[in-house]
Structure 1
């Protein structure tokens, strides 16, 4: 499949901390899960891909554009959707007004935007709240508004950082179905701590640890690693055991000085 997102030697440093260490990755159409513990570099990667943070070193190409330059970033932003861990909103806006404002930022035409706003809000199950002020919504509903604004422009690349935070189990099931639908035509990259979301919705998983790629493959192949480690008390199901197994191996390799960059398994 055609590569839509490519990073080469991507390095991000925050003062004395290296968040990403010479990462090489590429993504195509489908749903891609980013897994890893706190501080693994997932959010730093998402922020660079969303063009809201600049890398310290390396090359980032989105939809055929090098985003190092202003022209490339501008062209890409119209075709991106982005939900950060915490997103700002105007509490006095209604859901319609807020999602419509984001559509305007994406330079959608007025005629297209009105219908797109209603469609995006309906897809996250908030059609009956579209004219409710955002400040009157529950935390889970606000999160769904965040998802709606991220998909309003039918993005070619959709970046979601912990999108299911605050959603109840039923809403998470609906969200996974939405992800699978979006992944048929777009490149969807989801950063999450929830291994079960990756297992249910993603076509590919990338596991990060200490700013490096520790594993890359399908959820099924990660579960196979967990099945081999079934005797170890490191998880409640195969994919959780696979996750823990990869982290243990990667950390052991790092401690022994044998981790030179990324370890990729497919």
Structure 2
């Protein structure tokens, strides 16, 4: 089942092309979105999150065309989104902030309190739920951001660098949460940490210069690293650099391995 369809997506930032006629589709599962700085990862996430409009192309999510304002509002209720830098109210407690986001997502008032407690517990902050956000560490604030993204049990979850600021133990726990969420939702994770992709993702999408450079499983990307002369300390890192090199040598042809 396809939950996200992107056709001919074009995004410009002034004179810079961020996404160049991109075609993609995603279904349920955990999808890793990789690429160097400037590859277009954040631009794609922002368009899918309906916070930025593309300059061209079409996006369908959950069977709806998000270019239609009426359909877009309905899709937003079923989305979860964590940007790289998310705004929060430091004087709010964790409970108050996540509840506020539940209200913005138009969750039923009778369901929201239990949903807030469940989301906060899933990110390991149950003992801090009534703590002011301003007193939390950077890693804890990041986990608050993840909690607000999942409070509505979204059908599509978009996470931009979600493990930034998390220590190794927290990242391992987060990977477990991703696998749990991906059993029923479409989860798209933009990250620079290829080891997170190896551990949690069912599919890898590699962007370079606004184009699709590679699609496949983590195992297939690791196999590419074993076969090719890539740079890196692990097979998947070598596969990542090998796929980028192949794309740069022939930018019109992406490598696809299923």
Q: Does 1:243 align with 2:253?
A: no
CA distance in 2, matches of 1:190, 1:233: 23
TM-score scaled to structure 1, two decimals?
0.95
Aligned to 1:264: 256
Aligned to 2:10: 11
Q: CA deviation at 1:265?
A: 3.2
Q: CA deviation at 1:261?
A: 6.0
TM-score scaled to structure 2, two decimals?
0.98
Gaps of 5+ in 2: none
Tell me which stretches of 4 or more aligned residues in structure 1 moved more than 2 Å.
259-266
Instruction: Name the count of aligned residue pairs.
Output: 258
Question: What aligned pairs does 1:54-133 form with structure 2 within 5 A after superposition?
Answer: 54-133=53-132
* Superposition CA RMSD, Å: 0.9
Question: What aligned pairs does 1:175-254 form with structure 2 within 5 A after superposition?
Answer: 175-229=174-228, 232=229, 234-253=231-250
Classify the secondary structure of the residue corresponding to 1:31.
strand
Aligned to 2:39: 40
**Is the CA contact (8 Å cut-off) linking 1:19 and 1:40 kept in structure 2?**
yes
Structure 1, residues 89-125: CA drift from partner, whole Å, max 9, x if none? Answer: 1111000000000000111111100000000000000
CA distance in 1, matches of 2:50, 2:230: 41
Q: CA deviation at 1:264?
A: 3.1
Structure 1, residues 39-67: CA drift from partner, whole Å, max 9, x if none? Answer: 00000000000000000000000001100
CA distance in 2, matches of 1:233, 1:47: 31
CA distance in 1, matches of 2:43, 2:84: 11
